[in-house]
Structure 1
Amino acid sequence: MAGIRNLFTIEMALFGLLILVVLDFTVAQTGVCYGRKGNVLPPAPEVIQLYNQNNIQRMRIYDPDQPTLEALRGTNIELMLGVPNDRLGDLAASQDNANTWIQNNVRNYPDVGFRYIAVGNEVRPSREDTSQYAPFVLAAMRNVQIAISAAGLGDQIKVSTSIDFGILSNSYPPSEGVIKSEDQSYLGEIIQFLVNNGAPLLVNIYPYFSRIGDQNISLEYALFTSSGIVTPDGTRYQNLFYAMVDAMYAALEKAGGSTLVIVVSESGWPSAGGQDTSLDKAMTYNTNLVKRVKEGTPKKPGRAIETYIFAMFDEDQKSPEYEKFFGLFQPDKNAKYPISFN
């Protein structure tokens, strides 16, 4: 009888472990992007305190801001650190430059929880405002990867780049997602780099921009509040965010990236300044986003989507006007509307 009890105990322990693994696989932690293009934003230590108070455990920053890195020391916040586009040429030019960048901005902060290095943001040959940086992205990624590996951090920190959804020439139905012909060679090489290094692709996905660009997309579908649609290939999509993620997955499969995981490095909805903007709409989108990323898409059911909401604060230095109002918080640290990250 004792043997049976012991066997039962072992089986229950294994069952409990299985449950924990499943829960860990399906529950995503939503992070928030911390942009600083505002005139009256609070100092970095107060920002980190605000993250902690609201149980926001992941952060994206777009450059190695030293006050922010200092304030992150000893916290449990995991960080996506950006290499600004205007530094890509330097890091691509020599391994020494990349080594120095990693030494100054990563190795000097051993008590900061670095998760990703995002080498460039929304760079692609077909995008007029970033095309000049495209020749440097892959070389910079390689040099940063070598520097990270030499520091013994290759298993802890993944090197990637963040792309925008506009890199697709077709996204509907999602199964027919495909990369623009003029960007295929560029992204194809990056995909192989990511596959070889076991890193995800970072993608900025904004149903807001798709909605204002195509009025045939219903507002409810973009805000997660519709009953959904059935695409021509027979797949039901409850919301536009899932459809956009799956379109990117389909495009990656066609480009040799079937094993890649997508991390949504930006998504959000502005509360003012443009078409379909209001506090209520922003709250509806972001509240539903936090819930929905835990569930997985029709193409990847049960796979939580690591996602970073843009952004922590309104940023009054940005343009056009709606770009000023993506924040979850006012510069005085008051929440613009209730939202939970639990």
Structure 2
Amino acid sequence: MKALAASLGDPAGIGPELLCEAWAARHEASLAPFFVVGGEHLLAAAAARRGVDTPIVPIADPADAADVFTRGLPVLGDEDGEYFPGEPNASGARLALASLTRAAALTAEGKAAGIVTGPISKALLAEVGFTFPGQTEFVADACGVTAEDAVMMLAGPQLRTVPLTVHCALAEVPGRLTTDLIVRRGRIVASALARDFGLERPRLAFAALNPHAGEGGKFGDEEQRVIAPAIEALRAEGIDATGPHPADAMFAPHERGGYDVALCMYHDQALIPLKALDFDNGVNVTLGLPIIRTSPDHGTAFGIAGKRIANPGATIAAIRMASDCAARRARLS
């Protein structure tokens, strides 16, 4: 199998040091080969600052990554910069964008098995010309997929969640939720869990929007008017869909065993339980793409960058999950 491509993320954040840490842990974590796009000298400085023995090996072609992975972290390309952890700037944002752009293009062209994206600062990227709400939409666009068909899933050892609306004000959520949106995204989730995660008939549990699932219309009617019809439509297609479930109870330990993924109505409804349970091992996966894309489910953490305290668990989990999903696709092709 081809190696995975990894983008640097913001070089002032924890992304570079955790990529070095992941390579150093490759044996105990059973990681497949991956290469980083750009940042050869920056990564060497990050490894030294972190105190990990991670030799950097420049490569000229993604196909070389697997061969050199045993002796060092492969790095492709000449894009580079200075390592100033905790001091984000426009130069670093441009490097992050260049790394993301090339890594996405290489993966879309089939030269990498998948892409693992490092954490970025959306505000800083916007200052250097980034026009997307986030990396999910950027990678989707690089693959020719509309943002509506790129579905964010957060996955950890104990839970998988999908926010059906993502980066918008909470006040906008009821207006954005439609039966068609829920059905469309439910189909994508069911198909991706079967293809990429090996779940033959995935169980989808839908959260309610309102307290107590609306209490029969007392606290809102979205459950009856929008969500329940979507669930019925998915069931009619043979998808195992249940709900709408009161969100305050569906993440309890005795409830989580009854489904494979919780589809939530808004961002924090999905991310709060995932981060409470699996913060150091959470992975952001984009479903509905022709490629595999994962990312550690944490931000740049500028405040702790370069201090040797950032936990590499989510980065390692993102690399492993991308590799596992890519291997399943390869077996099916």
TM-score under structure 1 length normalisation: 0.29
Q: Which has the higher contact order (CA 8 A, sep 6+)?
A: 2
